[in-house]
Amino acid sequence: MTVSSDVRRITDTMAAFIGHGAKNLPDDVLKALETLRSKEDDPLALEIYDLMFRNLKLARELDRPTCQDTGFLQFWIRCGSGFPFIADLEEALTQAVIEATASTPLRSNVVETFDENNTGNNTGTGAPTFWWDIVPGWDGCEIYTYMAGGGCSLPGHAMVLMPGQGYEAAVRFVLDRMTSYGLNACPPLFVGVGIGNSAETAALNAKKALMRPIGSHNENEKAAAMEKLLEDGINAIGFGPQGMGGRYSVTGVNVVSTARHPACMGIAVTVGCWSHRRGCIVFDRDLNYEVRTHSGFSAEYSSHDSGSDQSSSFGKAGAAND
Ligand code: SF4
């Protein structure tokens, strides 16, 4: 198989995975929504959860996205230094976004800043977004996909706290943001909190926090305690599903931190909505893949003329169930 046909395999798989992620929520998000519904007793909240699950069922049956806002595509790539296609990935993923936009279809959500024109295919200057981490000595590649909707991106915020303000101020920062902007993000919210040396490191940590599974906990006991504190605090706001009131406001709160200057604490928050569309797929050097987020995914090639052997079957995702 030539290099170009390998790159085509990546593009085809990722276009299918992006489309699947637009139409099917990740397993952990579904489970979290079911759990919240089972603990809810507010009649309006129960009605709204039922509408959400009906929406998800119809999305599967009608083969349509779960929300009309299919977001701005962002990729966090944890790539082994020995992955053979490292140099091709950005081009392959950009092409996958273009093809998924047509085949899914996805709403065209990329507007060139200052020019104010919609590019029509969800790509543009710096779009989609790529964040890279290189993993020395590995020959595989882990790709997180995220569809950043407008509403769920709105509460995002980052700042650097003054010296001595400490962790109490970090908690207040997050709660202030949730009480003022959380409603914009179609609760129940999945809240990512980042702490680091500066505004941009905190912001990227917050986004990475949104990629961690719901229900996971920070390995540091104090950070895990902050997750619980924030979860309880945001639940106490009483958003309920779609902000119409209820006992719970969040599917979870994840904190990711990195070391910082002793005088500075960068703090950031970013939010996923009830339709939290993130995926994780891992390729080995032969392009076998494993999907970690969606048990129902199997790559189905679209009908475009790719020039590749489209009869090949190389996936090893969990059993298809839809
Ligand atoms: S916040 Fe989420 S569910 Fe609400 S409109 Fe935006 S993408 Fe859709």
- Residue 48 to residue 133: CA distance in whole angstroms: 39
Output the CA 250–ligand 1 centroid distance in Å.
15
- The minimum-distance atom of ligand 1 relative to the CA of 273 is 2
The pLDDT of residue 300:
61
Confidence (pLDDT) at 307 = 35
DSSP 27-54: HHHHHHHHHHHHH---HHHHHHHHHHHH
- What is the 67 CA–ligand 1 centroid distance (Å)? 6
Q: Show the domains of the chain with their CATH numbers.
A: 3-25+66-149+277-291 (3.30.1330), 151-272 (3.30.1330)
12 lines ligand 1 (CB under 6 A): no
Say what the pLDDT of residue 308 is: 34
Question: Which of 51, 55, 67 to mutate for ligand 1's pocket (most ligand atoms within 8 Å of CB)?
Answer: 67
Q: Identify the band that residue 313 occupies on the pLDDT scale cut at 50, 70 and 90.
A: very low
Query: Does 107 contact ligand 1 (Cβ within 6 A)?
Result: no
- Give, rounded to a whole angstrom, the gap between the first and last alpha carbons of the chain: 31
Q: Which two tokens stand for residue 318?
A: 């969990």
Residue range 123-162, pLDDT digits in tens: 999 999 999 999 999 999 999 999 999 999 999 999 999 9
Give per-residue pLDDT as tens, 53-63: 999 999 999 99
Collect all residues with Cβ–Cβ distance below 8 Å to 232 and sequence separation of at least 6: none
Residue in 70, 186, 244, 276 to alter for ligand 1 test, most ligand atoms within 8 A of Cβ? 186
User: What is the C-alpha to C-alpha distance for residues 236 and 234, in angstroms, rounded to an integer?
Assistant: 5
186 C-alpha to center of ligand 1: Å?
6
- What pLDDT, in 10s, does the model give residues 82-109? 999 999 999 999 999 999 999 999 999 9
The reported pTM is: 0.91
Answer yes or no: is the C-beta of 55 below 6 A from any ligand 1 atom: no
Q: If pLDDT is split at 50, 70 and 90, which confidence band does 38 have?
A: very high
